[in-house]
Amino acid sequence: MEYIYKIKSPVGILTASSDGQNVCGLWMEGQKYFARTLGNDVLEQNLPIFEDVQRWLDVYFSGREPDFMPPLMPKGSPFQKSIWDNLCKIPYGQTTTYGELAKQFDLENKGKHTSPRAVGSAVGRNPVSIIIPCHRVVGKNGSLTGYAGGIDTKIKLLRLERSDSV
């Protein structure tokens, strides 16, 4: 059983999903790959974990860095999860590139090599938007490329964080 809950936000309605204990998804309506990791057995219900997500989002959208992280359990391949873990290490208000994330992966996985394109594919399939900050990844030379929620939303989020990239 998976649970979902709708949350109003400055970037539109968000749909959060949970296994009952962890955040498994957070999608903006209309975004690419919307709810693609949800199974067939889904119930819309407010749970304590969704209250944690709402509190995190309230702090974030007030222009401050949240000082806590709800428990996360995104569904994906081991490679994707590794990339998503590294997204969580990008400091609030800062950005990194797909190439830098690829280099970081290579360092952490001696003997394995990945390309910025493969990283981009994993970043684009991040099922926990905003909380796992895929909006902090930019193209080579800082160009604002790709975001499942749309470039305008990416710009709003980076401006909210007072990032130098916008």
Active site residues: 134
Q: Which string of b and e fits 10-45 if b means at least 16 CB within 10 Å?
A: ebeebbbbbeeeebbbbbbeebeebeebbeeeeeee
Alpha helices in 6-150 (DSSP H): 48-61, 78-87, 98-108, 116-124
